[in-house]
Structure 1
């Protein structure tokens, strides 16, 4: 899903875009899937060590942001900068209408339900057709693994976060109240930089509007 941002990022950095285990894409559904948070973070650590990375910047969107934040809290010495795009359940809960709309998709995923859900959340904004096809078909047909969800960090853990962190919010998103979340971060965690991309929604990030997102990411990563 980072295809629209890779050119801008690669002009400054070497970019590694990692498929989640068990997700639709180039990964194979074989071997033992992560069953605990320790398994999940151990998998990510094995990826970065396998790539030969010492310290590195880390960016994640939605569930990927949850994993990235959990990893940084576990191994802050490895990460030079952190960018969290519309992070879910990291600093506050999600809106009930969003969860209610997502429930049928989670209970029995189909291509039609996935497309309908994204269409609702994005307000029918234009999306890349190939990406939407992959998302819809993956939801319906790709072998699923149990989602391992890191626990929301405590206020104390977040106050002790020393890695330079930027939260990029979707101003028009329906997953959570971006204005309220920005207020929570500004009041309780003033060391975290907050950038709101006004025209973005949860499911248009990070692809659109890519110019604003690219600028926010490059600023976040230093």
Structure 2
């Protein structure tokens, strides 16, 4: 059923969104899926008959941030970069509000159903990694493969210094706050594209709600039901202690491949131009 809903996105946000989405090097198809939680905007690419791959971005980001991964992923998969209703992006909340982790699981269930995907591979970065791992625990039979890019709140907590530095993003959000925070977090390594930084800043100013979150997913309960998993960590991440994350991932997902990529920060990882990252990710997802 098609339901007409009003998008909360302003003209300024839409302009920044178009600018960032223009970074994608492959043709994209915007999709709007109506469901019980509103209308979910998806940026799709790759062959229509390719195996489905769902991309889940970090908190405060949009589907535009996946531009550097798009070409490699689209060679083997039909990739769907989704935007959670109520967070920055062109999704439109409506119907049931997303309030609890269980709501997020139901939202993803409905999204896969609407796409006609009985099973899909999941690729999540940061908060999107928490969401992807949580969904694998919720519905392991629907997750073909699980790839996590420097996932947060999955295997270790945030560093206090990171949370303190991130506070201005919520107190005085905007492009300047986003630029200062991301420059500090990248600390001399590869940075985030200016278009993506601006979009994150405008989005933080226009969308003041925080993503729905919750406890660490109980990944250890999966046991033999765990899907094949890859955990790629940012060697210079200031979000958390990468060694603790690697150790925790090894305990929770004993069959996972865990790789630390040196010299890159947490937020720049999805955009990293790296033959090693491309080889690890595309090789894993292609099986």
Q: TM-score, normalised by structure 2?
A: 0.71
Pair 145,30 (structure 1): closer, same or farther in 2 beyond 3 Å: farther
For the Cα contact (< 8 Å) 2:185–2:265, is it kept in 1?
A: yes
Q: Deviation per CA, 1:49-82, whole angstroms, max 9, x where unpaired?
A: 1000011111100111111111110100011110
RMSD: 2.0
1:31 deviation in Å? 4.7
For the Cα contact (< 8 Å) 2:155–2:244, is it kept in 1?
A: no
Counterpart of 2:35 in structure 1 is none
User: Partners of 1:210 and 1:161 in 2: how far apart?
Assistant: 31
Q: Does 1:59 align with 2:123?
A: yes
Is the partner of 2:167 in helix, strand or coil? helix
Q: Deviation per CA, 1:81-114, whole angstroms, max 9, x where unpaired?
A: 1001101010111111111111232344233222
Q: Deviation per CA, 1:98-141, whole angstroms, max 9, x where unpaired?
A: 11111232344233222111110012544322111111111112
Q: TM-score, normalised by structure 1?
A: 0.90
Task: State the structure with bigger RCO (CA 8 A, min sep 6), 1 or 2.
Answer: 1
For the Cα contact (< 8 Å) 1:165–1:192, is it kept in 2?
A: yes
Pair 82,145 (structure 1): closer, same or farther in 2 beyond 3 Å: same
Counterpart of 1:99 in structure 2 is 163
For the Cα contact (< 8 Å) 1:109–1:140, is it kept in 2?
A: yes
Matches within 5 A, 1:91-170: 91-124=155-188, 125-141=190-206, 143-154=207-218, 156-157=220-221, 159=223, 162-170=226-234
1:202 deviation in Å? 0.6
Q: Does 1:182 align with 2:246?
A: yes
Number of positions where the alignment pairs a residue of Structure 1 with one of Structure 2: 221
Give structure 1 stretches of 5+ with no counterpart: none
Q: 1:85 aligned to 146, 149, 172, which one?
A: 149
